[in-house]
Structure 1
Amino acid sequence: MQFHTELVPESLPHSIGLNSRIVTIGSCFAEVMGRRLADHKLTVLDNPFGTIFNPVSIVRLLTMALYGTPPDEDRYIERDGTWFHYDFHSSLWATNRDELRTLLIQTLAQTGLALREANFLFLTLGSAVVYRHIETGKVVANCHKMPGQLFEKYLYQIDHLRDELTLLLKILRKANPKLNVLLTVSPVRHTRDTLPINQVSKSTLRVIAHELTVWNNWVSYFPAYELMIDDLRDYRFYEADLIHPNALAHDYIFDKLAESAFDVELRDFIVQWSKLKKSLAHRPLYGNSPAHEQFLGRLLTQLESLSAQVDVSAELAAVRSRLKGGEQPESQSADRKDGEIEFA
């Protein structure tokens, strides 16, 4: 008996391997997936501009990164002693304008280089609703909590969005002919736009994503949105805000991504690495007993066998330190509160 409609994504035409280089750009869902890819030892530049929801700002930032264009000077703002830029997320900030300019130029240069060397670009589109800064007439990536009367909010026209993204693909293809693009529509609902407008927004993005995959054989679509909305159609897969997918949903969607996009070698590695991560997180009940030292020795050997494939230098250093210095028993951990009772 089935209790839900399972969605099995088709295999992508271009498989992701252990040595693939990946850039993720877009909404917070892009960042979640990028973090999980990096946790499994893939080479990932994860959402370098911070969370960017609308395609207009995504296109602008990636074009700036590839052309080496500096940030617009008229889009810096200062709020409560902190400087931001309207083209970037608020996670990129500084205490003065010059410091922020340097940071943004470095981020753009890093992203441009990564795009030229990448095998895959994960591009997650979050919303077709945009905010236009009235004074400059330009769409902003983030309002940075500035007064609402400074902006005009509206649904971007589908033809203009299609043109923007089509132009971006041409620029990307010219800069890196080996690049494959994986499009997703973020499953995070923008309830502030109202649920009806959110549906229009997501539908707009989904139509454009479909058309881009039809016109370009190096562009694919992964149905993260459909997996969340149709396959996991239950509020138990959401955070308490009933908007963002929770960790269980992320696990499920990532597993589906692995099934459809990863090659056999990478899938086998992920299984092996997941077991090793559990071993790395293990702490002894009774300190460095002979049995635990043997456990650490085996773990060290396993990590050394992987060192030719992926960078495990941090994990090797941690295990060697544990072998050398001994470990505090779990029941005597330093962060345990006085009077706290532990159960085996």
Structure 2
Amino acid sequence: MSILDPNKYQTEVQLPCFEARVGYQRPFMMMGSCFATNVGERLVRLKLPVMVNPFGVIYNPLSVASSIRRLVDGLPLVADDLFEQGGLWNSYAHHSSFSATDRDECLAKINQSMASGAIMLRESSHLIVTLGTSWAYQLKASGAVVANCHKTKAAEFDRIFVNTSQAVEALKEAVAAARSINPSLKIIFTVSPIRHIKDGLVENQRSKASLILACHTLCSELSGVAYFPSYEIMMDELRDYRFYADDMVHPSSLAVDIIFKKFVHSAVNAQSVEAMNEVDRIVRAVEHIPFNSEGAEYRKFCASMAAKAEALQRKYSFLDLSVEIERFSR
């Protein structure tokens, strides 16, 4: 009979230790749900060379797979690929953040992001994919699965469940396509810790279970594919509702920070982790709002931080802190 540690108040998820890791030295991509954006924004803030969601937020595995294949194909959208809804032009393959009142503006935003994403996919060391839900929406008229419904009438869609086999097949094809243009590309899959309660709590658990099984199937059948347990950390280590936002569904900022730090521990190389900690101090100084921006004390602070940023840039040749140096030198 084992005796539990009386000072231990959590069941901890064992973190993977990836052999191939991301860092400042080579660009990488993140695609998928809004959790990918949450983590990606923290990496961008720390100046890592990461591109986040070139199609905007995408939740279901079929749309994620389709987006990857679109980047590999490199074909731009044309005007006929867009549709107008509620005064906005939209793409069923993209998030509403790309929508615009002017069709040409919408098309330009989409094609610029896709072109950048195609280049980034060819150059990336890793593609990190966050899957959100197994539930998807299929247009009745064409049978196409959409990444976003854009408030089109529900009668236009069939709600479908993407089972494990379908997800594995689609994502396998997407990985193969990505590696046809970038043979050394490593893949990290994770499942979003955000519960989709509008699907129903039972349906959400079924959905997440299917995604987790798909991820582990891909890890076992493909080389260079790994899994990071975002969902499991939220459900087991952070199961208390104090780690949730006011809607009791989304992880709080604290919870995202905790999962982010665990991701960094598993997936970022040691030299980059050291640099991230130093970059964070520079970025915090930039974000600081002074009481008196014209005072001698603040000017002295800025001169000190500019010198530190310049020294840090010399220490790590892969860092570009020119924006921060200019900010402190004004």
When normalised by structure 2's length, the TM-score is 0.92
- Alpha-carbon separation, structure 1, partners of 2:92 and 2:292: 54
Is 1:54 the counterpart of 2:64? The answer is no
* Cα 1:69/1:280, change in 2 over 3 Å: closer
Are 1:101 and 2:107 an aligned pair? Answer: yes
Q: 1:37-52 counterparts in 2 under 5 A?
A: 37-52=43-58
Q: Secondary structure at the match of 2:97?
A: coil
Which residue is equivalent to 1:314? Answer: 323
Match of 1:68 in 2: 74
Determine which of 210, 231, 234 is the counterpart of 2:237.
231
Give the one of 161, 167, 176 matched to 1:155: 161
1:296 aligns with 2:272: no
CA RMSD of aligned residues (A): 1.8
How far 1:8 sits from its partner (Å)? Answer: 3.6
Give the total of aligned pairs.
Answer: 321
Q: Does structure 1 residue 194 correspond to structure 2 residue 200?
A: yes
Q: Distance in 2 between matches of 1:20 and 1:225?
A: 27
Structure 2: runs of 5 or more not aligned: 1-6
Corresponding position: 1:122 with 2:128: yes
Q: Pick the aligned partner of 1:90 from 86, 91, 96.
A: 96
SS at match of 2:98: coil
Q: Out of 212, 215, 237, which is 1:209 matched to?
A: 215
Could you tell me whether the CA contact under 8 Å between 1:75 and 1:87 is conserved in 2?
A: no
CA contact (8 A) 1:7 1:227 kept: yes
Output the CA distance in 1 between the equivalents of 2:115 and 2:287.
36
Aligned equivalents of 2:76, 2:265: Cα separation in 1 = 40
Gaps of 5+ in 1: 322-344
Q: Using the TM superposition, give the Cα deviation of residue 278 of structure 1 relative to its aligned residue in structure 2, in angstroms.
A: 2.8
Cα deviation 1:196-220 (Å, max 9, x = unaligned): 1111111111001011111223111
* Residue number in structure 1 paired with 2:86: 80
Q: Taking every aligned residue pair, what percent have the same amino acid on both sides?
A: 34
Q: Which moved more, 1:120-129 or 1:12-21?
A: 12-21
User: 1:175 offset after TM fit, Å?
Assistant: 1.1
What SS class does the counterpart of residue 272 from structure 2 fall into?
A: helix
Question: In the alignment, which residue of structure 2 is the partner of 1:341?
Answer: none
Q: Aligned partner of 1:238: which letter?
A: Y
Q: Which moved more, 1:308-317 or 1:253-262?
A: 308-317
SS at match of 1:91: helix
Q: Which has the larger radius of gyration?
A: 1
> Hey, what's the Cα distance between the residues in 2 that align with 1:78 and 1:283?
42
Q: Does 1:3 align with 2:9?
A: yes
Cα drift, residue 267 of structure 1: 1.3
* Whole-angstrom CA distance in 2 between matches of 1:76 and 1:273: 41
| Length-normalised TM-score, structure 1 | 0.88
Determine the C-alpha separation between the residues in 2 that align with 1:116 and 1:56. Answer: 21
